[in-house]
Chain A
Amino acid sequence: TQTVSQSDAHVTVFEGDSVELRCNYSYGGSIYLSWYIQHHGRGLQFLLKYYSGNPVVQGVNGFEAEFSKSDSSFHLRKASVHWSDSAVYFCAASSTNAYKVIFGKGTHLHVLP
């Protein structure tokens, strides 16, 4: 069974804090791992992806994520969050040989002023 799990439904931090949003996956074979952001009532925006190579990938707006095969994880991090980062973040996995993506249930990031 292919699964993507995000253990935290809500994360609350203050503006300027660092944050880590967690994602664990269970997938056979080669996969792409991605993170998306969804602001309230909007569609998904692509942040970053990993397939191979350097396990730390850089994305837009200062986000980065680190792939760990041993932990089956792909956690998203940002060193200093801004209030505009408040949104729901989705971790996603897709197989390299199938046209389908599986999403986690999302983590709602609340950034307080």
Chain B
Amino acid sequence: NSKVIQTPRYLVKGQGQKAKMRCIPEKGHPVVFWYQQNKNNEFKFLINFQNQEVLQQIDMTEKRFSAECPSNSPCSLEIQSSEAGDSALYLCASSLQGNSDYTFGSGTRLLVI
């Protein structure tokens, strides 16, 4: 069982709907990442946090995606207006140092129909 907890396991949304997924990082890990894994097994980095602060994020995240890691609450990733191309496995990972030893969650599989 992973020490990074992601919910929900599956998410089905219509185009244009909001899609929100959550992640509880491994206890004591201050660095949290979100990745998108497509059906071709390609990983796309979305955003990372150290404690509650955003460290890096890609343009896609800046425009349609929003994410936060509030203190004492799960981290979240939300797509404001889902598109078919957003269908993918969204993986959350946490790390003590940020540059190695990532602990991954089981992912949230999003299907946009």
Are B98 and A99 interface neighbours, CB within 8 A? yes
Q: Closest Cβ of chain B: how far from A78's Cβ, in Å?
A: 20
Complex interface bits, A78-102 against B, C-beta within 8 A gives 1, otherwise 0: 0000000000101000111111110
Segment of B11-19, B43-51, B67-75, B79-87 engaged in the interface with chain A: B43-51
The yes or no answer to A73 lying at the interface (CB within 8 A) is no
Contacts of B6 in A (CB 8 A): 43
Complex interface bits, B83-97 against A, C-beta within 8 A gives 1, otherwise 0: 000000001010100
- How many chain A residues touch the partner (CB < 8 A)? 24
Are B48 and A100 interface neighbours, CB within 8 A? yes
Contacts of A32 in B (CB 8 A): 99-100
Are B99 and A46 interface neighbours, CB within 8 A? no
Interface residues of A (CB under 8 A from B): 32, 34, 36, 41-46, 49, 51, 88, 90, 94-101, 103, 105-106
